[in-house]
């Protein structure tokens, strides 16, 4: 594991620790007399939700690409950098005018490219 990315290494350590914690919790809940389906459901919830929380926190630290406070999508195209990144803008290939869609309002051409 010495050649791994330090963040990935930390993620694997956390994943292993959460697995050990989940198994230990299941054993403790078994000794306390909690039904097996409740303990397994609790363990699975912890084992699934903790890495999801960690991933969301890590994405938030990387520049708010996917945190809840991000207004933009943060997906394939990043945050966009535009004020109105929720809609696709088009650029006319004839007169280079930016518009919302359909034909160009300046020259009437339908030749356009999408501008993200």
- Please state whether the predicted TM-score (pTM) of the whole model is above 0.75: no
- Cα dihedral sign, 11-14-16-19: negative
User: Would you list the domain boundaries of the chain?
Assistant: 6-61, 87-116
Q: Buried b / exposed e across 11-25, counting CB within 10 Å, b at 16+?
A: beeeeeebeeebeee
Q: What is the pLDDT along the chain (116 residues), one digit of tens a residue?
A: 567 788 788 878 887 888 888 888 888 888 898 888 888 888 888 778 877 887 788 777 776 554 444 444 444 555 545 455 567 889 999 998 988 878 888 998 888 888 87
Residue 77 in tokens? 């195209």
Cβ neighbours of 75 (radius 10 Å): 9
């Amino acid at each position: 594991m010495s050649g791994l990315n330090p963040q990935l290494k930390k993620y694997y350590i956390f994943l292993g620790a959460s697995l050990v914690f989940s198994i230990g919790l299941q054993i403790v809940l078994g000794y306390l007399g909690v039904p097996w389906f409740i303990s397994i459901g609790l363990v699975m919830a912890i084992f699934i939700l903790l890495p999801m929380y960690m991933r969301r926190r890590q994405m938030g630290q990387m520049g708010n690409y996917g945190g809840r406070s991000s207004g933009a999508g943060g997906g394939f195209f990043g945050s966009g950098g535009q004020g109105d990144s929720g809609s696709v803008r088009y650029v006319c290939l004839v007169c280079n005018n930016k518009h919302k869609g359909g034909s160009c309002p300046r020259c009437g051409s339908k030749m356009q490219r999408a501008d993200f």
